[in-house]
Structure 1
Amino acid sequence: MKIRIYYEDTDAAGIVYYANYLKFCERARSELFFEAGLSPQSESGYFVVKSLEAAYHAPACLGDMLDVGTTIVQKGAASLVLEQKVLRDGEALFSMKIKLAFLNEGRPARIPPAIQSLLSSWEKGAS
């Protein structure tokens, strides 16, 4: 997914505020669902963040065009681990591993077949 950096994404020096990288990754995950005609939240359940590990490699700046990539590292019946990278012209600016749990009514639940199918397409190379 492509993201342009706007003034609202930056601090006074024109550098992207650190927490915004998490937002960019969240948007990219949501967009993968929307592109498939699905939603990350439905009557069958929803994903929540269980844990994440993030690394900041280089700053993004006002006006930059970034790419956010998402790949599956591990897939379980009710959870998955993703790796997401934010790149500028192929250079890694930010990377993270995030564990998501699928819940229904606040309890762990099996990921539904439609979402499992979508996740399989991510294994083949999400963007």
Structure 2
Amino acid sequence: YYEDTDAAGIVYHANFIKYCERARSEIFFRQGFSSHDKENNEHFVIRNIICDFLQTAFLGDLLDIKTEILKRKNSSIILKHDILRDKELICSLEVVLVYVKNYKAITIPDRIFKILENK
């Protein structure tokens, strides 16, 4: 989208992180859930992000985000997001998410993990 680009029509690098955040949210929305449990104040927080920018994206490019689980721990999960344009990898992110309740790490509920696993 125009709002995602600079004056030259190049996608601003921080937007790749936003695209992956939206892709993670969509995984839950498609299942009729949210990754944020408002009643119990439970949700994911980002602990770490590693971005590998391989190519430039431009205004009008159709991008696809592929998500896979790299590792699951008790209260955290490491996801890999690959951003592709016409099957060409343009950016890859590794994201460490920690599941918290009242901002303290807790065990990821199986129902949450199953949604991510069955995306």
TM normalised by structure 1 equals: 0.88
| RMSD across aligned positions (CA) | 1.0
Structure 2 unpaired stretches of 5+: none
Task: Give 1:8-27 correspondences, 5 Å limit.
Answer: 8-27=3-22
Equivalence for 2:28: 33
Q: 1:116 and 1:68 mapped to 2: Cα distance?
A: 19
Following superposition, the deviation at residue 68 of structure 1 comes to 0.7
Following superposition, the deviation at residue 120 of structure 1 comes to 2.6
Following superposition, the deviation at residue 93 of structure 1 comes to 0.8
Cα shift readout 1:91-113 (whole Å, capped 9, x = no counterpart): 01110101000000110011112
Q: 1:69 and 1:14 mapped to 2: Cα distance?
A: 24
SS of the equivalent of 2:100 reads strand
Moved over 3 A (4+): none
Q: 2:64 and 2:102 mapped to 1: Cα distance?
A: 34
Q: 1:120 and 1:94 mapped to 2: Cα distance?
A: 22
Please say if residues 83 and 89 of structure 2, whose CA atoms lie closer than 8 Å, have aligned partners that are also in contact. yes
Following superposition, the deviation at residue 21 of structure 1 comes to 0.3
The one-letter code sitting in structure 2 at the alignment partner of 1:19 is A
Task: Give 1:1-127 correspondences, 5 Å limit.
Answer: 6-42=1-37, 43-44=39-40, 45-121=42-118, 126=119
Q: 2:31 and 2:61 mapped to 1: Cα distance?
A: 27
TM normalised by structure 2 equals: 0.94
SS of the equivalent of 1:41 reads coil
SS of the equivalent of 1:98 reads strand
Q: 1:10 and 1:120 mapped to 2: Cα distance?
A: 32
Following superposition, the deviation at residue 52 of structure 1 comes to 1.1
Following superposition, the deviation at residue 38 of structure 1 comes to 1.0
How many residues are matched?
117
Identity %: 42
Following superposition, the deviation at residue 66 of structure 1 comes to 0.5
